[in-house]
Amino acid sequence: MRTDSLNKVIDDFSRLSLSDKEYLAEIIEKQLIEAKREAIAKRSRRAIANLKKGRISKGTVKDLYKDLELA
């Protein structure tokens, strides 16, 4: 989003009544939570697909350090 668009949104928000500001903040927070939930689900689906394709290695933290030392 461009800065001038954000400034307009902020300016419009400042003109709302307190109850409208609270309502809008609640809606925005719920949308943000849903967007984060969708991002987590997307990463999860990608991880499951990579696991099924054998692109994920399993092991302990020691194993990870050993792999990193070899790289």
Segments forming the whole domain that contains residue 49: 3-70
User: Could you give the number of structural domains in the chain?
Assistant: 1
Q: Cα(43)–Cα(34) distance, rounded to whole angstroms?
A: 14
Amino acid at the residue 70:
L
Q: What is the CA radius of gyration of the chain?
A: 22
pTM above 0.75, yes or no: no
pLDDT digits (tens, 9 = 90+) for 13-30: 999 999 999 999 999 999
Average pLDDT taken over every residue of the chain: 93
Query: Looking at the predicted structure, is the pLDDT value of residue 59 above 90?
Result: no
